[in-house]
Structure 1
Amino acid sequence: MGKKRLEDAIQKIEQPVEVVYRSFELDPTVERNVPYNIYEKLASKYGMSLDQAKANCLNMVQMAQEAGLEFNLDTLILTNTFDAHRLASFAKSQGLMHKMTDRLLRAYYTESKHIGDHATLIDLAEEVGLNRDEVTKMLSSSEMSDVVRADEQEAQDLGIRSIPYFIINKKYAISGAQPTQAFVNSLEQIIEQDGPFTKGEEQNGAVCDENGCEIPEK
C-alpha cells in the first residue's frame, strides 16, 4: 500500500521522481514451505487470538481496496522471500526492476502464488521479459545474494526495522503506508527546500526501498 500511495502522490506532484527498490526481509528465518497461514503467524508473533489477527488483516484488506489494490490474505502463501529478492535484484540489473517488483507483489498478495518456489519465480520472470534460462541459472546459484545482503545490511545500519520505509534525497525519511496526501505534502516540502528532483543526479534522486522502501547508492 505504501508503494501504491507513493506512486499516486508522484502522479499528483507532476515532477520527475526516480524510485529505486531495495531488498528487506521482515523475517529472514522463515522457511520456504510454511505449514501455517498469516493469521496463525500474526497471532503467534503478537500474542493475539486468531479472531483478532483476522480482524486486523480485514482492516488491511479494506485499506488496500481503498488504494485500488486487491489483497487475498485468506489464501496468501507465506514463504521465505530471499530468492524473490534475488530475482528482483537480477531484474534491476536488466532494467526491469519496476515490472518485476510489481509482478511479484501481485503474485503474492492478489494471486496467492508461492513466490518462494523457483518454478513460480521463473514463470513470473519470463512474464515480464526476462530470459527464462538466465533466471533458472541465477536461481540455481548464489548469484545476487551479495546484492540482497548488502541492501539488508545498509537498512540495518540506517536503523530500518519495518516497512514500508522511504528515504528521499538521502536525508528525509517517511515511514509507514502514509495517506497519499501526506506523501504529496512531504514531496512538495522537499521540492520547495531542495529544488526539483533531477533524475540521474545523486543528490536529488528520490529513492524508495524494495518491499516498500529504498536506500540510495553511496
Structure 2
Amino acid sequence: MKIEVWSDYVCPFCYIGKRQLEKAIKESGYEEQIEVEYKSFLLDPSTPIDMEEPIFTALSKKYNLSEEETKKMTANVAVRAKEVGLEYNFDVMKTANTTAAHRLAKLANELEKAPAYNERLMKAYFLEGEAIGRPDVLKRLAEEVGLDRAKVEEVLDSRQFEDIVEADIYEAQQIGVRGVPFFVFNNKYGISGAQPQPLFAQTIEQAAAEAGLRKSIQLVGEGGAACSDGECEI
C-alpha cells in the first residue's frame, strides 16, 4: 500500500498529522507492507529567504490579531501537539522559506534517508526553533541524518530538484489539495488535515482490505524451543 503525504515543514498540523499516521501504521499490522512518500507543499513561497521573524509577530500581522491573541491561538495548537507526544515551543519559532528544505528532501529521498530528514527538520523547527530557511542550518541538519555535505551544498548552490518540488505542488492542485497535511491512500482515499486518530486507522484498514493485504502475525509469549535451517534447539 502506498500513502502519499503533502506537507510543509512550517505547518504545525503537518507534524501532528505525521505522528498520527505513524501511530496508525504501527498499530495496523500492515507496517511492513506500507510505503509512505512525503510530497512538497509551500504554504508561503513568498516568504523572503533571509526573513526570520518571530512567529507571534508574523501571525499577528497575518490574522490582524494582537500578540496576546496569537499566543492563545498557538497554545491550543500546542495542546494538540502534546496529545501525540510533541512539545511545541512557539516562543522560539521563526518564519522560514522552505523551498530549499523541500529540494533537499528530494536528495534525501534519492539516498533513502527521507524519513530521518523529514523528522529532523520538523523537530528542529517546532521544538528547537531552528531557522530552517538558512543554508547553513540546512547543511548541518542534513549532515546529522547522514547526507553528504558536498552533495547538500551542490543542491543548495543550484536549482536541482526544483522541477520535482514544482511537480508535487502541481499534482496537489490537480487533485484539489487546498491545505496541508493531506494524505492519499492507494491513490483512492484522501484525508485532509490532522483528523481524529481513528480515521487514519479506519482508512488504512479499508485500503488494505481492498488491496488484498494480510496482516503480519503478532507473536505472543517468549520464544520457545524450535527447529530451523536443519537444526533443532535441544
Q: TM-score, normalised by structure 1?
A: 0.85
SS at match of 1:20: strand
Query: Residue 3 of structure 1 is aligned with which of 11, 18, 35?
Result: 18
CA–CA separation in structure 1 for the residues paired with 2:75 and 2:151: 39
In 2, Cα distance between the equivalents of 1:167 and 1:42? 29
State the aligned residue count: 198
1:141 match:
158
Where does residue 83 of structure 2 map in the other structure? Answer: 66
Deviation sequence 1:157-193 (CA, Å, 0-9, x none): 2221111110111111001101222211222233334
CA distance in 2, matches of 1:69, 1:51: 23
Aligned-residue Cα RMSD (Å) equals 1.7
**Higher gyration radius (CA):** 2
Tell me how far 1:48 sits from its aligned partner.
2.8
Matched, 1:108 2:141: no
- Is 1:85 the counterpart of 2:98? The answer is no
Query: Which amino acid in 1 is paired with 2:149?
Result: R
Q: Is the CA contact 1:38–1:78 (under 8 Å) kept in the aligned structure 2?
A: yes
Q: Is the 8 A contact 1:17 1:197 kept in 2?
A: no
1:54 aligns with 2:80: no
Pick from 169, 188, 191: which aligns with 1:171?
188
Of 120-129 and 189-198, more deviation after overlay is shown by 189-198
Confirm whether residue 21 of structure 1 aligns to residue 38 of structure 2.
Answer: yes
Higher percent of residues as strand:
2
1:14 & 1:197 partners in 2: Cα distance? 8
The SS at the match of 1:63 is helix
CA distance in 2, matches of 1:96, 1:173: 25
Return the alpha-carbon distance in structure 2 between the equivalents of residues 134 and 34 of structure 1: 25
Matches of 1:193 and 1:92 in 2, distance apart?
28
Q: Normalization by structure 2: what TM-score?
A: 0.80
2:59 aligned with 1:42, yes or no? yes
Structure 2: gaps (5+ residues): 1-15, 216-234
Moved more, 91-100 or 177-186: 177-186
Aligned to 1:213: none
CA contact (8 A) 1:64 1:70 kept: yes
Write the letter of the residue equivalent to 2:62.
K
Structure 2 residue matching 1:166: 3-state secondary structure: strand
The unaligned stretches of length 5 or more in structure 1 are 199-218
Structure 2 residue matching 1:105: 3-state secondary structure? helix
Partner of 2:27: 12
Structure 2 counterpart SS, 1:19: strand
Offset from partner CA, 1:193-218 (integer Å, 9 cap, x none): 443289xxxxxxxxxxxxxxxxxxxx
1:180 matched to which residue of 2?
197
String of CA shifts for 1:29-81, please: whole Å, max 9, x gaps: 11122253222222322333322221110011111111011211111121100
